[in-house]
Amino acid sequence: MVFNTGAALLDAIVLAVVCKEEEGTYGYKITQDVRQAIEVSESTLYPVLRRLQKDDCLEVYDVECGGRNRRYYKITEHGMDQLDMYRAEWKSYSSKITMLFSEGESA
């Protein structure tokens, strides 16, 4: 992708992915789902998850899986409020950019 992905957009994408699973989801699956939209490494994603947890947008819990603990992330009420704000901002931002890109297009 030629466009840079800022921290706010990455936060929004992660929150959108996590909110799809009512009981939460684990880091590797989040990485795979985010990669459907943008290319991101696990080393980039895990600090985002920690920041969202610190900001009370995600809660974290562990589940035993195959003798090991798997860390799950679940969106909080505050996280849903943040996601709603990101969605509204994205809708406004993307419609303005689309309008600018569409101006002067040949039919």
Q: Which residues of 60-96 are buried (b: 16+ CB within 10 A; e: fewer)?
A: eeeeeeeeeeeebbbbbeebeebbeebeeeeeeeeee
Question: How many Å apart are CA 22 and CA 1, to the nearest integer?
Answer: 30
Architecture category of domain 8-99 in CATH: Orthogonal Bundle (1.10)
Q: Model pTM? A: 0.88
Domain residue ranges in the chain: 8-99
Please give the pLDDT value at position 82: 97
Digit-by-digit pLDDT tens for the chain (107 residues) are 667 778 899 999 999 999 999 999 999 999 999 999 898 888 889 999 999 999 999 999 999 988 999 999 999 999 999 999 999 999 999 999 999 999 867 65
